[in-house]
Amino acid sequence: MLNKIFASFAKAADFFAGLTGWRRFLTAAVLGVFASYAMPPWGWLAAFAFAIILFMWLLNGAEKLLSAIGIGFCFGFGLFAWGLLWVNNALLLYAQSLAFLALPFTVGIGIWGGIFIAIAAGVAYLLPKGISRILAFAAMWALMEWVRSWFLTGFPWNLTASVWEKSDATLQIISVIGPYGLGLLTITLFASWSLISKPNKKSAVFIGFFLILFTAISGFGEWRLNQASDDTVKDVKIRIVQPSVPQKLKWEKERAEKNLAAYLDLSTKYLDGITHIIWGETASPYPLFQDAYTRMEIARKLPDDVVLITGVVRAEGNKKDNLRLYNSAMVMTGKGSIAGGYDKSHLVPFGEYVPFRSLLPWDKITPGQTDFSSGNGAETIVIPNAPPAGISICYEIIFPSAVVDKTNRPAWLINLTNDGWYGISSGPYQHFFAARMRAIEEGIPVIRAANSGISGVINAYGQVLGLLPLNAKQVLDAKIPAETIYPLYARYGNTISFVLISFWLALSLILALRSKS
């Protein structure tokens, strides 16, 4: 029976390795599309495993380096172009006249993502087939994930660790090795299964080792989750407000009062024990840092002992040439005074500013012609009557090891966002999951407030304790979960990941040299 199974794998491997020309590259692209369904909200882990196995067989069939690079590029193109297709919703929301850019934009994202996988495949092809190539491919894949976290300002969306979305236990290992480390192990595990096509003792040991390793990782995760407690911050009760104001109406001047009223109506109902109210990114249509009158109007609606944390646009200067805008968070007491603030530092290219504006012929896709300015980076903010907090705005939460002030760690993280740009798509789900990963990595709970969802309370183990679904017009009242023991990843960042990647590459070279001797 086993011989028949192995024979079937061998035939499948020979088939995919034997594909040539456009069939080979088209198959790689389709596999990339298929692999994207392992990401939130679908979480089809088997799709990713299947795609990586077949990809390795395709790569093993490449006759030349350029062909291997092309296979990697096409796989990455399908993975990113399809997995990030939701980005077009933001592009078209305000500018239907730009519909013709949807296809070029999608192609551009695919090319961008394809380059990273192409590099990983090209390097791996230089090593002999088998374990050596698998180790090199996994190491370069993980290294390229780190590169795309900073290349061209960075966009580490849908990291490979995301395929474990439905396994809280497996995800706990990122508290030690980070998302790049888990990505490295994940690619190695699934790529190792391609060796089943030509089984031998070495491949059996290799596959068995990683199966045992992931069993141990799951066991570690279960143990860690058992350490989680129901402890919460004393004497603090928050209310997350999600008004689901349609994005197209959010900035219309004639709707300003009505939009603000929507927030206040939800904020002020049945304030039983609520000490802090949290609104999402750019929740107020008014510049509250400068607009003392509106602050007082809001304060009149709230009890004096309630603190408001809200997203707002902050302006500096009053002349057009000197005007500086910031996508900010503001902390306001119930008496209308400003207790603190934070300016977003990691801005979205073309969304909040236009890079190389003097050279490019278009404006940013968000309303207004003035580019936003960036803040000073992650910092811990004093919150009256609550522990100090770290604030991130929108996609700042997707950057591993970059969401807290390392020298002054907060007790909780607040993520203010407005995912109304993405419509009903996979985007908000993927964005929400990124917040879960940051909670595990830092050992700090995350409170997420989104204009139209997904909002929620996430404990320090990445578990969702409360949720407001996409487009729900509701509030979520909750206590702030306690932080956990200072995780290794929070202490050392990506250092452990780099050590693992370096070891993988060194081992692949050693095995390659041994095979030639």
| Average pLDDT score over residue span 63-83 | 97
344 given a catalytic annotation: yes
410-432 pLDDT, tens digit each: 999 999 999 887 888 999 999 99
Length of the chain in residues, anyone? 517
pLDDT at 363: 65
pLDDT at 362: 62
Kindly tell me if the per-residue pLDDT of 1 is higher than 70. no
pLDDT at 364: 61
> Hey, CA dihedral for 492, 498, 501, 503, is it positive or negative?
negative
Our CA dihedral for 274, 439, 211, 126, rounded to 10 degrees, sits at: 150
Q: pTM of the entire structure?
A: 0.94
Residue that is written with structure tokens 């080792």 in the block: 209
Confidence of residue 98 (pLDDT cuts 50, 70, 90): low
pLDDT at 361: 58
15-37 pLDDT, tens digit each: 999 999 999 999 999 999 999 99
In angstroms, the CA 125 to CA 121 distance is 6
The fold for domain 232-483 equals Nitrilase/N-carbamoyl-D-aminoacid amidohydrolase (3.60.110)
pLDDT at 197: 87
Question: Which is higher by pLDDT, 275 or 367?
Answer: 275
| Active-site residue, from 74, 364, 394, 479 | 394
Domain boundaries, the chain: 2-226+495-516, 232-483
Question: Which is higher by pLDDT, 97 or 479?
Answer: 479
| Active-site residue, from 250, 344, 364, 479 | 344
pLDDT at 284: 84
> Hey, CA dihedral for 247, 159, 328, 466, is it positive or negative?
positive
483 given a catalytic annotation: no
pLDDT at 128: 96
Burial degree of 191 (CB within 10 A; 0-12, 13-18, 19+)? buried
Kindly tell me if the per-residue pLDDT of 91 is higher than 90. no
pLDDT at 99: 66
pLDDT at 368: 64
| Average pLDDT score over residue span 255-269 | 90
297 given a catalytic annotation: no
Instruction: Tell me phi and psi for residue 403, to 5 degrees.
Output: -105, -5
Apex CA 439: angle with CA 438 and CA 442, to 5°? 80
| Average pLDDT score over residue span 344-361 | 74
Output the average pLDDT for the chain: 92
Q: Which helix (H) or strand (E) holds 135?
A: helix 131-147
pLDDT at 498: 98
Kindly tell me if the per-residue pLDDT of 453 is higher than 70. yes
> Hey, CA dihedral for 282, 287, 292, 298, is it positive or negative?
negative
Kindly tell me if the per-residue pLDDT of 14 is higher than 60. yes
Kindly tell me if the per-residue pLDDT of 318 is higher than 80. no
| Active-site residue, from 74, 129, 165, 281 | 281
> Hey, CA dihedral for 471, 472, 478, 484, is it positive or negative?
negative
Kindly tell me if the per-residue pLDDT of 95 is higher than 60. no
| Average pLDDT score over residue span 247-252 | 72
Kindly tell me if the per-residue pLDDT of 114 is higher than 60. yes
Q: In what order do the strands lie in the sheet with 474-481?
A: 338-343, 324-332, 307-316, 276-278, 232-242, 474-481
- Considering 7-16, 90-99, 141-150, the range whose residues carry the highest mean pLDDT is 141-150
